[in-house]
Structure 1
């Protein structure tokens, strides 16, 4: 593999997770992103208290994402072989942390009672 393309990445992820699970994860990620954008447009700002509470879930999301990928690839931490493996592990953790933070923010924003907040 001489170059990294989007098609190559999609093929690799489909091989790791299976086509159904991969595309389900993509759809769920898009739905969370669209819900986050909707909340930002609706509220016209980022609510600091929601964000502070949502950030508390980031470490849980990072650990969950790393363990999920380790499980799906049938590998362990002893299989990490070089710097690129560490970089991929860190990026997986960052993606999991960000995803769960967005989800927690959106859930809080949808659960709020407008008459108490405004």
Structure 2
């Protein structure tokens, strides 16, 4: 892999997760992102109570993302070979935590409706 291009990254992710699962995850991320933007535009403000509850779910998202990637790559923690592996796992955990927070905030907002005027 001489050059790292966007198409190379897509090919690597398709190889790791499988073509169907990868594109399903991309579609799910797009849907959640659009729903999140819809909620922010609809409410015109961030509900700090919902935001706090979403932040409390972040550790669950971080652990779930790391376990999911470990399962998909058929690896274990004993296969960590060096600093770059630790950096990648930390990046996966951060992305999982942020994704879980956005998902929880969006789900709360969509299920409870518009925020009440305080």
TM-score range, shorter chain: over 0.9
Q: Aligned to 1:81, what secondary structure does the other structure show?
A: coil
1:45 is matched with 45
Give the unaligned 5+ runs of structure 1: none
Matches within 5 A, 1:46-65: 46-65=46-65
Quick one: distance in 1 between partners of 2:95 and 2:45?
23
2:10 is matched with 10
1:20 is matched with 20
Alpha-carbon RMSD across the aligned residues, in angstroms, is 1.2
Quick one: distance in 2 between partners of 1:82 and 1:8?
23
1:70 aligns with 2:99: no
Deviations 1:30-74 (A, max 9, x none): 111111111110111111001000111100000000000000100
Deviations 1:4-24 (A, max 9, x none): 111111001100110000000
Q: CA deviation at 1:113?
A: 4.5
Q: CA deviation at 1:28?
A: 0.2
1:117 aligns with 2:103: no
Quick one: distance in 2 between partners of 1:103 and 1:113?
15
1:87 aligns with 2:87: yes
Runs of 4+ in 1 over 2 A off after TM superposition: none
Aligned length: 117
Give the unaligned 5+ runs of structure 2: none
**TM-score, scaled to structure 2:** 0.94
Q: CA deviation at 1:112?
A: 1.6
